[in-house]
Amino acid sequence: MKGHTSRVLRITILIYAISSVLSGLFHMVRPQTVAAQDQAIERVLGGAMLALALGAGLAYLERAWDRVKIAVLMQVVWVILYTITMAWGILTGGLLADAWPTTILGAVLAILITSLYIREGRLQRDRSREEGRPLRGE
């Protein structure tokens, strides 16, 4: 339909929202660090993840691309920065190597959501162009 987001993007955003809620709750309820200061920081991270999950959930519920593209772009930026900081933390010794699976999952999500965001923008531009052109033979 005209101006609606693709089903693939919507399903990806829904899966991302659900996983972000679970991860955010996990960080808030059961921080994995020992020091009190680090636990507070991890809980703030969990709160940020929950806020972004809410944005993703709202983006899933709204079908109009013009209304969700900024929310999806926020998810793109977040998951890219999350992946970079996680990898940086592991490589510099600030995080345990046990965090690699989460980091790899973040990288996969970053690539997937970024490519779907770009694809959706192109699809919407193409649809707009098609509407403005007369059909062949007219």
Summarised one tens digit per residue, pLDDT across range 17-62 is 999 999 899 888 887 765 556 788 888 989 999 999 999 999 999 9
Tell me the three state secondary structure of residue 108.
Answer: helix
Summarised one tens digit per residue, pLDDT across range 81-124 is 999 999 999 999 888 888 899 899 999 999 999 999 999 999 88
For residues 75 and 127, give the distance between their C-alpha atoms in angstroms, rounded to a whole number: 24
Domains of the chain in sequence order: 7-131 (1.20.1440)
The pTM of the full predicted model, rounded to 2 decimals, is 0.81
How does 91-101 read in b/e, with b if 16+ C-beta sit within 10 Å? eeeebeeebee
